[in-house]
């Protein structure tokens, strides 16, 4: 936890168990705005909001189609990076 809180990319070197730990992945995503981890967390709204609030452009890559259609997620991304609106679904 300490390592990813200081440098989010440290998760890359973690075991699969740690890459599947929601708290650790959340800390890494908040630090970097994105991180390579298992896809299961990319559908968790709270994790995606934390990531896009740090780096709005990651909406394009790290949010599921469902979350690209979620107004709260899109607003968090756009508040950080206005052009993130281009990555939202047409319905949001």
pLDDT digits (tens, 9 = 90+) for 32-81: 665 454 556 666 788 888 888 888 998 988 788 889 999 999 999 999 99
For residue 68, what are the CA distances in angstroms to 5, 11, 25, 38, 72?
26, 25, 20, 18, 10
Predicted pLDDT of residue 69:
93
In a domain, 19, yes or no: yes
In a domain, 58, yes or no: yes
Of residues 30 and 10, more confidence is placed in 10
The answer to the question of residue 36 being in a domain is yes
Place of tokens 């259609």: 69
DSSP secondary structure of 18-52: HHT-HHHHHHHHHHHS-----GGGGG-HHHHHHHH
Q: Residue 79 is part of which domain span?
A: 2-87
Q: Into how many domains does the chain fold?
A: 1
Measure the CA dihedral 22/28/33/34, to 10°. Answer: -70
Tell me whether residue 92 is in a domain.
no
């Amino acid at each position: 936890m300490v390592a990813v809180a200081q440098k989010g990319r440290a998760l890359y070197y973690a075991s699969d168990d740690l890459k599947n730990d929601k708290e650790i992945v959340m800390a890494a995503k908040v630090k970097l705005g994105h991180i390579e981890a298992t896809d299961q967390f990319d559908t968790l709204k709270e994790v995606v909001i934390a990531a896009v609030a740090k780096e709005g452009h990651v909406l394009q890559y790290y949010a599921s189609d469902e979350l690209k259609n979620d107004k709260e997620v899109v607003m968090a991304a756009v508040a950080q990076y206005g052009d993130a609106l281009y990555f939202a679904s047409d319905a949001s």
